[in-house]
Amino acid sequence: MKLYPAILLLLIGLSFQSCSESNIADINVDIPESSWKYANAVKFPFEVSDTSQKFNLNLEVVHTDSFRYENVYVKIHTLMPDGKKLDQILSLELAGKNGVWQGKKSGKEITAGIRLQEKAKFNQLGKYLITIEQFMRYEPILGISSLRLKVAATQ
């Protein structure tokens, strides 16, 4: 049997797609005027319909190349479907130890990808809410343009 090039490419593409992550959430939130205030908590709602699946939680932070800090301290609140809440303080590292920005630069903006959690399991079906608030000593922090949360099923 002879496979035509188009069919072969389709089969290869489908095999790669079946190995990749599928998003249950991909939410981007812009920070007004790139000025992140304490009161401007960023909310990411999503729904889990399979408790046997594992998920990667990735955050993208878009900031300017003139951002004053190497990292951003945040409080992350996770609200479960049953109403329980988990809180965590985390430092989002935007620059390496050598002071060079981590991430992809486009013009004056840098997009830093940060893995929040790998192979996480959600034990409850239903709606979750992840809220991220800035937790720096200064308010507002200038130069953060947006946050994007991706929750993706993984193998």
Rounded mean pLDDT, 121-136: 95
CATH, residue 48: 2.60.120
Where in the sequence is the domain holding 46, given as residue range(s)? 23-154
Mean predicted lDDT score pLDDT of the chain? 87
The answer on pLDDT for 6 being more than 90 is no
Rounded CA Rg of the chain: 19
Structural domain includes residue 2: no
Burial per residue of 2-33, b for 16 or more beta-carbon CB atoms within 10 angstroms, e otherwise: eeeeeeeeeeeeeeeeeeeeebbbebeeebee
Structural domain includes residue 16: no
Structural domain includes residue 53: yes
The whole-number pLDDT of residue 128 equals 96
Structural domain includes residue 90: yes
Number of domains in the chain: 1
Q: Which residue has the higher pLDDT, 1 or 45?
A: 45
pLDDT band at 17 (very low <50, low <70, confident <90, very high): very low
Structural domain includes residue 141: yes
Structural domain includes residue 94: yes
Rounded mean pLDDT, 128-133: 96
Rounded mean pLDDT, 120-138: 94
Structural domain includes residue 17: no
Which pTM was predicted? 0.81
The whole-number pLDDT of residue 18 equals 39
Rounded mean pLDDT, 35-62: 95
Structural domain includes residue 1: no
